[in-house]
Amino acid sequence: MPSPSPFRAPQSTQHPGQDVDGTYTSTLQDRLFETDSRRVILFDGDCGFCSDVVNLFINFDGDPRGAFRFASLQGEIGQELLTANGLDTEHFNTIVLVDKDEVFTSSDAVLEIADRLKEPFPQLARLAKVLLPHVFRDALYSFVSSNRHLLAGEKDSCRIPSENEMERFLDQ
């Protein structure tokens, strides 16, 4: 019988998320969706344009309860979700939409979000998916993302979320 290769890890009967003692460890992503199925939008908390986009999402949200929750990419929750999903934790050049079992970035995230907003956004999202090739959508997204600080201009003040809206922000 050949000796085991020193480069091959020993086979394990341990399942993903299962500790050595057989118990399961719940991740932050699991805990976020245990009692609340709303998706989480991660955005650049230091970007005025990104804050304006979050305000647009809130204002055009089609769900009275709010279809989404929000966290900054720079915050503890955002950083942990980025790490858990193998995404960049230092360069905040994309919006991220986190679902229980899926993660969307760039134009895919924007179109998924638009699909849950009031009309005409879902129709526009469907048109964009059909008419614009993915590579073009992401190139357009990258262009806007690279220039987002110029697009927002200088701001002297920020919008203060209502009490109902504050409940949707996870970085508190």
Asked whether residue 72 is domain-assigned, the answer is yes
Examine residue 50 and state whether it is found in any structural domain, yes or no: yes
Q: What is the pTM of this model?
A: 0.81
Which residue range is the domain that position 72 belongs to? 34-149
Band of residue 154 on the pLDDT scale cut at 50, 70, 90? low
Statement: residue 48 has pLDDT above 70: yes
pLDDT band at 17 (very low <50, low <70, confident <90, very high): very low
| Highest averaged pLDDT of the listed ranges 4-13, 125-134, 154-163 | 125-134
Which amino acid would we find at residue 48?
Answer: G
Please report whether residue 104 resides in a domain: yes
Confidence of residue 11 (pLDDT cuts 50, 70, 90): very low
**Residue 146: is its pLDDT beyond 90?**
yes
* Count of structural domains within the chain: 1
Please give the structure tokens belonging to residue 65: 């309860």
Half-sphere exposure of 168 (CA within 13 A, CB side): 24
Q: Hey, what amino acid is at 41?
A: I
pLDDT at position 10: 38
**CATH code for the domain in which residue 101 is found:** 3.40.30
Query: How far is Cα 88 from Cα 79, in angstroms, rounded to an integer?
Result: 9
- Check whether 124 has a pLDDT greater than 90: yes
**Who has greater pLDDT, 136 or 150?**
136
**At 49, is the secondary structure helix, strand, or coil?**
helix
User: Considering the domain boundaries, does residue 92 fall inside one?
Assistant: yes
Confidence band of 113 (pLDDT split at 50, 70, 90)? very high
Q: Residue 25: inside a domain, yes or no?
A: no
User: Which residues partner with 70 through β-bridges?
Assistant: 41, 169
Give all strands (DSSP E) within 44-106, no chain letters.
68-72, 96-98, 103-105
Predicted local distance difference test score (pLDDT) of residue 13:
41
Residue 169: inside a domain: no
Query: pLDDT confidence of 4, banded at 50, 70, 90?
Result: very low
Residue 162 lies in a domain: no
pLDDT over 50 at 120, yes or no? yes
Decide if 49 is inside a domain. yes
104 phi/psi in degrees, rounded to 5: -120, 145
